[in-house]
Structure formats: structure tokens, C-alpha cells
Amino acid sequence: MDIKQFEDLTKGSFPLDKEAMEACKLRWNEVAKPLYSLGTFEKYLIKIAGITGCQDIKLDKKAIVVMCSDNGVVEEGVTQTDQSVTAIVAGHIAEGKGNINTLARYSGAQVIAVDIGMNTGEEKTGELNKHIEREKSAELDKHIERDKTKELDRHIEREKSAELDKHIEREKTKELDRHIEREKSAELDKHREREKSEKLIKHEETAWQENTDVTFLNGLIAAKVAKGTGNIAKGAAMSRAQAVQAIMTGINLMRELKDKGYSIVGTGEMGIGNTTTSSAMASVMLKLPVKTLTGPGAGLSNEGVVHKIQVIEQAIEVNKPDSSDPVDVLAKIGGFDIAGITGLFLGGMLYRLPVVIDGIISAVAALTACRINPDAVHFMLASHQGREKACDYILKELGLTPVIYGDLALGEGSGTAFLFPLLDMAEAVYRNSPTFRGMKIVAYEDLKTGK
């Protein structure tokens, strides 16, 4: 798709369905509780009804898309770790072993990792595979040792101590043997449950990979635009055509998720150096000083933050991005991960799916999508107030209110995983709670409107 076709695709009006929203609001008002007492969660479900065009809300199939990419600006020493960490962590996510995978299992979401611009070729991919195999072997050894020996040994050792002596004195040897057998059986049951859970997750991942039009490599969707971006302190991150290509990757993936029946999508990323590119873009698009919007990212010292600010200011001076042209800003000082997530938000607008904002990288992508088409904001939900300085400014610019204030700064889509169970609980009240009519009690009135 060329740039003109992209512009034609993303222009136009995409309003929310007001009838569906009104029907959802009426349903909320029928639930036997004080009016509007679930606050933002009621508003979120009303918004979701407007997005999907249906008040019969079902958030039973969730995805978290993690865009993985490298950033050339890492060369400037703006991060605590080097670029190789991107591929290692992305590999863990693809294997189901990342932080986001753990959170997603509890929130009922499928994690989909995308290589949209990691600096990996055959040689680095081979090293990553070796690393993953080593990790697999090490984890398996630990798992077997922990579940078959270590836990049992610890238990026996504890029982052999004072408590075990008392137990032996009280119950005699026969009772102890029974106790140990029960513990063995319980540990075996736990081991089988963990294996069953891991097999189920693997089955879901395999099913996704076997029934999709996209190509997978090492467990990640292979959508590499380039092997990392350019160093923005010296020149443009990417060409305009590459920016559009990366955005279209997100749009097309959202279309596929809609076709596969997903009901809500969280946005995540993995890319060393991406808080630098995000702060740079935020500064230009919000027209605020770099120092106002720049934080420590993944653990910089105060001196490191000062250097990071200087590098961003240099990048803006070198590239001179046009603040009125979001794609220009993205191409000159952004990243492929930001571009891909921008596409997810635009895809949410085009295919009418709710898309959840995570932290600063995701928020900058949301802002970029809204600058491309302001109606994109109608299809966004804010999950949390991230720790990075720019998060608050961006969400206020978008007019969105987060529901989680947990000082989160993990990234990877973690905030979206925290939000999903809260939405599930709100949906449960919406769908299953008794009504005023069913309980034969007088409904509350909105005394402000008299309705």
C-alpha cells in the first residue's frame, strides 16, 4: 500500500453508535444498585457498546499484541542495558515465559508477539534460538528438580525437625508415612496441573499460528520493516514509506483479530530505547519542553536522565519534525514499535474493536493515531497512569481517564492485562446482577435530570 492509499484508508468519520450506548446505559440503570456507582467501569462498557454497535457486551476473547523493535538511538548511551536485551526478552515472550505472559494467563488474554523491527538477522536469530534452548533446558531441569525432589526434600526436612519429631511421637511411623504419601500425591497433582496449563497455553499459541495468514519465525509474527531504526540523534529513524508500512502492519493485524472473533485488544511493546523515542515524539506533538516529558525509563540515574534529555533535544534539532504531520514526526524521531501500535489503534477504529492503552510508548502511539484521525480516540480505553512523565500529559490531551494508579512502568502491555479482569467483573455485574424490577423495589432516579 502506498502513502496515498494509506491516507485514503484512514480518513473519514468513525462515530460511536449512540443507540447502542443508550441501550447499554438503560441496562446499567436497571441493575439494582445506586446509579452510576461503578463509575468509570460503567462508562467503559457504554463506550464498548458504542464501539461494537451492540449493548450485549461479551469480552470473552482478549489479545495483547506486543510490538518488538530496536532503536538506533541506543548507541547514544540513553539506556541501562544494550540492544541485545530486546531480542532476548522478545524470545521469552514468544515462548510464553515473559512477564506479560504470566499476567495474561491470569487475565485470560492471548499474547501475540510481533517482530516489527528487531535488529536480528540469521546470525542473531541463531544465537537467540540457542539462548532459548538453553533456557528451556535449564527451566525444565529446575522444574523437575523442584517438583519431584526439591519441594519434597524441603517438606521432609521441615517435618524431620521439631514439628516432625512431635508428629512422630504423636502419630507414630505409620501416620508419618501416610502424611508423606499424601504430600507426594499433592505435589504430583500440582505438577500435572502445571503441565496441563502449559499444554493448554501452547495449544492456543499453536492454534493461532496454524490458522492465520501471517508468517511466524521463532514464535513471533515476522513483520520486520528493517533491522532496527536509525539513530535519531544523527538522522531520521526511518523513511516515511517505512513508517506507513509499520502502521499498516498494525492495521492488518487488527483486521485479522476482528475476523478471528477477538473482542478487545491490549497494546504492548518490547524495545530497548523506546522511552527515548516516545518522549521525543511527545515533546514535538504536545509542543512541550523535552525535560517536562522525559523520565528515567528502565532505571536511569539522574545524570542519565540529563543525558537522555540532551540526546532527545539533539534529535529534534537534527531532524526538525513537523508537529502538524504525525507521520513525519513518527518517521523522523519515532520507532517501528510505536508505528505498529499506532496501526493497532487505527485498526480499532476501522474494524470497530476496543483497544487498550498501556504506558508511555502505547500512549504516544495513541496520540499519533488521533493526530492521523481524531475519531481514533473513540475506540481507546486507558488502562493506567504510567510512571513516565509524559503519560499524564498525553492522556489529558486525549481526554481519557485511566482507572489504575499503581505507579506501573513495566511496559509489554502489562497495564492492559491488569485492566482486563476489572472489565470482566464490570461485565459480570452488567450481565448477571438482579434488576430493580426483579427484586420488586423502586428504582433509583437521577435527581439531576429527573429521570
The residues annotated with a catalytic role in the active site are 412
Q: Is the dihedral of CA 50, 260, 70, 203 positive or negative?
A: positive
Provide the H-helix boundaries in 287-335.
290-293, 302-319, 326-333
Separation in Å, CA 304 to CA 273, 401, 447: 13, 31, 54
Q: In what order do the strands lie in the sheet with 109-117?
A: 216-217, 220-222, 109-117, 62-69, 264-270, 355-357, 380-382
Separation in Å, CA 15 to CA 22, 66, 374: 14, 27, 10
Buried b (16+ CB within 10 A) or exposed e, 191-202: beeeeeeeeebe
Residue with cell 541485545: 84
Are 270 and 71 spatial neighbours (Cβ–Cβ below 8 Å)? no
**Between β-strands 264-270 and 355-357, what pairing exists: parallel, antiparallel or unpaired?**
parallel
As separate numbers, helices (DSSP H) first and strands (DSSP E) second, the chain gives 18, 7
Closest CA to 129 of 217, 224, 205: 217
From CA 226, how far away is CA 204, in angstroms rounded? 29
Burial class (CB in 10 A: 0-12, 13-18, 19+), 46: buried
Beta bridge partner(s), residue 69: 117
From CA 69, how far away is CA 276, in angstroms rounded? 13
